[in-house]
Structure 1
């Protein structure tokens, strides 16, 4: 009897650590990798990142160089490689083109587009734009030495028009120009064809056409959300944007 009891206890001790390890794996959450777009830097994700961390999701914001699609995709791939476990990849604005190119990494389980481009393979951001009426923000782009930027007035009226003046000033101060030629660079892969996607449309966007956004979301088969915000919805509507990312993280299949 004693021998049988000892044997039972030993078997239980051997099995329990395995069960706990399985529970830890089940509880592991994907890392959210955030890719900013043109005329911004990684701080444009600060309000969203704060909310995601409060929900228990690890977050990395990529410093997107905005000099070429290849350079931006390479920076994003480095962030994906360094992240533990699976990744939910999020792109805002031109960052959508970047995640379309870089998001076919085996670690990426889902894509989230926020007021963003999502070209098809062989297509560029500019080609997406050409099918829609030019927005007020696009009409005010400044080209200096081949780099595009927005004036302080354009930021206030057409880029971040729904932010308070102090926040608009911060957006302008953190602005990084986009090399104009990057818009004409074609993606050679379309990650949304092999990954579940979410899309958050900015209804009041005066920089990237809301019609382009809705059409893009339907074309890529994304789960569509809309927010009553301008182009910088990660700053103007961080609760709604972060919720879409949380939902994508919960629903994305393990890879």
Structure 2
């Protein structure tokens, strides 16, 4: 929803979901293979977190054990009802988009990530990494953000 702000000139998705207006985040998974190694455990109060036992395999298999332990233990639970909330606006309809896709991401089916990136007509960059590519491939992520910034600045 924040992408619709007039101050936002372009969008960069980093192994991320890109629902359309009227869709929920949960709907993005329909028709795609489930993420068997990425397991979200839900508490009685409706909050979820990545299973501590599956965290490394499902979220950050290419991250050092020390960093994995920190990330695993520092998780902030997410209100699972957020996955059922319908998006009201999809900025990717009117703003240029880029997508960095981690080819070893176990949180999402690769076909799903590619489908979403192609649907939003994103310029796609693929990189060998887990879902934690922001840690393991920061240069690729930063370069993509830089390319996006330069592209939208050139249009002004």
Instruction: Pick the TM interval, shorter chain.
Output: over 0.9
Question: Is residue 231 of structure 1 aligned with residue 125 of structure 2?
Answer: no
The aligned counterpart of 1:242 is 142
Question: Is residue 179 of structure 1 aligned with residue 79 of structure 2?
Answer: yes
Q: Which has the higher contact order (CA 8 A, sep 6+)?
A: 2
Higher helix proportion (structure 1 or 2): 1
Structure 1 residues 193-233: Cα deviation after superposition (integer angstroms, max 9, x where no partner): 01000000110011122211111110000000001001111
Q: Normalised by the size of structure 2, how large is the TM-score? A: 0.94
Question: Is residue 161 of structure 1 aligned with residue 61 of structure 2?
Answer: yes
Question: Is residue 105 of structure 1 aligned with residue 105 of structure 2?
Answer: no
Task: Flag the structure with larger Rg.
Answer: 1
* Alpha-carbon distance in 1 for matches of 2:64, 2:35: 22
Structure 1 residues 97-135: Cα deviation after superposition (integer angstroms, max 9, x where no partner): xxxx11011111110000000001100110011221111
The aligned counterpart of 1:196 is 96
Question: Is residue 142 of structure 1 aligned with residue 41 of structure 2?
Answer: yes
Q: Normalised by the size of structure 1, how large is the TM-score? A: 0.58
* Alpha-carbon distance in 2 for matches of 1:242, 1:147: 31
* Alpha-carbon distance in 1 for matches of 2:122, 2:98: 5
Deviation >6 Å, runs of 4+:
none
After superposition, the CA RMSD in angstroms is 1.2
Q: 5+ unaligned residues in a row in structure 1: which ranges?
A: 1-100
* Alpha-carbon distance in 2 for matches of 1:104, 1:178: 23
* Alpha-carbon distance in 1 for matches of 2:123, 2:11: 10
Aligned pair count reads: 154
